[in-house]
Structure 1
Amino acid sequence: MAARKKQREKSKTRPVSKKSACRGASHGRAYGWGKIFLDKEGRWFHEGVEITHQRTIELFNRSIKKQPGKGYYLQVGRERAEIEVEDTPFMVRAVDFRDRQAVLVLNDKTSEPLDPASLRVGKHNVLYCKVKSGQFPARFLRPAYYQLMSCLGEDEQGFFLEIGGQKWRIAQAAAD
């Protein structure tokens, strides 16, 4: 017991080297941590372990930025960390129908009107659109997909959404 107390006292007075002081600095990675991954269902992982702390998830969701030609990263204050995104950086969690338009509720807790012209069907019939002024792709999660399907129609030209009395064709994504 006395040895532990002596060790604690010794560590309090030990000078901190520049190298050890910088150990926690990010150097382009969030808090010096390793791989951060966002899966296709909107779940965050750090080094393969799912992040379950709600405030951390919310912070990450609203901190996504795009680096042209290099993918996505998180920007939290001055800290920056590259992230690996399995499918899209944003997910549509819900669709609200207001004033003859569809309003998307995204994983970063923002809402915005659907741009029906940006809709497309991808592999495995997954529905996508553009969000954030057309800057980012977003994947419709199942609940939002089924909400939007209440407006789905089909004719000889294929599938369309009818919103506010207007028909919007749904494009088929090019084969990967």
Structure 2
Amino acid sequence: MAQAKKQNIIPKEQAVFWMDKDGVWHNEHGKLEHPKIIKYFNQSMGKDDQGYFLSQIINDVEEKVYFSYEETAVFVVGFVKKDAWIELTLNTLDTIALDPEALYIKADALFMETDDHLVKFTQKALAQMSVFLTDTPQGLIFKFGRIQTVIREK
């Protein structure tokens, strides 16, 4: 029988880092800027019933550090246009398909609801997506091929 892995759980109140509303990591000294550390943090993210956490294995012990974040910890950082759909690249380096029906605008930011996460578009990703967005009297419309969807506001 396999032995359960030992865990060291650190609650978000004790974490020494957090993520802001734009997906930027911070610690007590300010914004984290080292690209390798940021990439490592983003790739180490997980989610469970208690929230988002970073995990790593240290000497056969899984360490889970829950962290604070605003709105969401998952962000669209880029996309790839496919023949019939758009693939979104997330800060976690995962990819998901864009679902135009799941898009909405809140406080001048673009979000997409998925079964697993609330996903927010970074300013860079939003600028890249602008070729598919048209402002109309009915509101902002997403257009891609034959797909045309009014993006609702919350």
User: May I ask how many residue pairs the two structures share in their alignment?
Assistant: 142
Structure 1 consecutive aligned stretches of length 4 or more whose deviation exceeds 3 Å: 154-157
Which letter does structure 1 place at the counterpart of 2:145? G
Match of 2:86 among 87, 93, 102: 102
* Structure 1 unaligned blocks of 5 or more: 1-25
- What CA distance in whole angstroms lies between the structure 2 residues aligned with 1:89 and 1:141? 11
Which letter does structure 1 place at the counterpart of 2:101? A
Matched, 1:85 2:69: yes
- For 2:121, the equivalent position in structure 1 comes to 140
Which letter does structure 1 place at the counterpart of 2:119? A
- For 2:111, the equivalent position in structure 1 comes to 128
Which letter does structure 2 place at the counterpart of 1:81? V
- What CA distance in whole angstroms lies between the structure 2 residues aligned with 1:28 and 1:71? 12
For residue 94 of structure 1, report the CA deviation from its aligned partner: 1.6
- For 2:21, the equivalent position in structure 1 comes to 40
- What CA distance in whole angstroms lies between the structure 1 residues aligned with 2:147 and 2:15? 47
- What CA distance in whole angstroms lies between the structure 1 residues aligned with 2:15 and 2:28? 6
For residue 48 of structure 1, report the CA deviation from its aligned partner: 4.3
- Per residue, is there more helix in 1 or in 2? 1
- What CA distance in whole angstroms lies between the structure 1 residues aligned with 2:136 and 2:15? 50
Percent identity between the two aligned chains? 25
The two structures, once aligned, show a CA RMSD in angstroms of: 2.3
Q: Matches of residues 10-21 of structure 1 in structure 2 within 5 Å?
A: none
3-state SS in 1 of match to 2:119:
strand
Taking structure 2 as the reference length, what is the TM-score of the superposition?
A: 0.78
- What CA distance in whole angstroms lies between the structure 1 residues aligned with 2:144 and 2:22? 26
Kindly tell me: are residues 61 and 116 of structure 1, through their superposed partners in 2, closer, same or farther at Cα, counting changes over 3 Å? Answer: same
Larger Rg: 1
Kindly tell me: are residues 74 and 128 of structure 1, through their superposed partners in 2, closer, same or farther at Cα, counting changes over 3 Å? Answer: same
- For 1:58, the equivalent position in structure 2 comes to 39
- For 1:11, the equivalent position in structure 2 comes to none
Matched, 1:71 2:71: no
- For 1:7, the equivalent position in structure 2 comes to none
- What CA distance in whole angstroms lies between the structure 1 residues aligned with 2:118 and 2:19? 14
- What CA distance in whole angstroms lies between the structure 1 residues aligned with 2:30 and 2:47? 24
> RCO greater where, 1 or 2, for CA within 8 Å and sep 6 or more?
2
Report if aligned partners of 1:36, 1:82 keep a CA contact under 8 Å in 2: no
Kindly tell me: are residues 27 and 49 of structure 1, through their superposed partners in 2, closer, same or farther at Cα, counting changes over 3 Å? Answer: farther
Report if aligned partners of 1:37, 1:86 keep a CA contact under 8 Å in 2: no
Report if aligned partners of 1:38, 1:85 keep a CA contact under 8 Å in 2: yes
3-state SS in 1 of match to 2:38:
helix
Taking structure 1 as the reference length, what is the TM-score of the superposition?
A: 0.69
